[in-house]
Amino acid sequence: MQVLENLNWRYATKSMNGISVPQEKVDYILEAVRLSASSSGLQPYEILVITDPEVKERIKPIAWNQSQITDASHILVFAAWDNYTEERINSVFKYNNEQRGLPDAVTDEYRNKLLQSYTAKTAEENFTHTAKQAYIALGTALIAAAEQKVDSTPMEGFDPVALDEILDLKSKGLRSVIVLPLGYRNEEDDWLVNMKKVRTPKEKFVTVI
């Protein structure tokens, strides 16, 4: 029941009060993201944590001037791999096998299947897939933040090309996918704070076959 209570408590916070989120809470959220599910365990994305006020000010204009960008305590940028490459896939498998004490031969068949599948696709097709994996992690972040009673606002309203340039993501082989400000709600200024939470009724949302 605690998860449902937390999800009922959270909402896409429209105004934040500028109070800093304790580092241990941020670390908890980041660890939850690190442990999140991803296809084949590849985790084809990285998280950039923005706290520098000057960087936030640079991001705000290319994010529709949304106040959460500068009023939030931390900004999480979910940046997905721009492509699946042989080097990246091999690196993940090598690390996983080392951590599990397995010889590479144990996973070679599956690794080769992935390589054959992904390397046959275009970079844009592969980015579409890596971005989906970042969204899975976003869901985990939202739940973890709610558990810590930290407000958050998932944002697609920004210019990804401009953000990539600000954060120099291209040089890292990454592309920004979604931005997640973390902070605390400004209850005096947020028009949504006291609104009833509304979702599609279960009978219209769930079909049992």
209 residues of the chain, pLDDT tens digit each: 799 999 999 999 999 999 999 999 999 999 999 999 999 999 999 999 999 999 999 999 999 999 999 999 999 999 999 999 999 999 999 999 999 999 999 999 999 999 999 999 999 999 999 999 999 999 999 999 999 999 999 999 999 999 999 999 999 999 999 999 999 999 999 999 999 999 999 999 999 99
Do 106 and 100 meet the contact criterion of CB atoms below 8 Å apart?
no
Q: Which amino acid is at 17?
A: N
Residue 119: how many CB atoms within 10 A of its CB? 13
Cα(2)–Cα(175) distance, rounded to whole angstroms?
34
Does the pTM surpass 0.75? The reply is yes
**Which residues are CB-contacts of 204 (< 8 A; sequence separation ≥ 6)?**
none
Cα(65)–Cα(204) distance, rounded to whole angstroms?
36
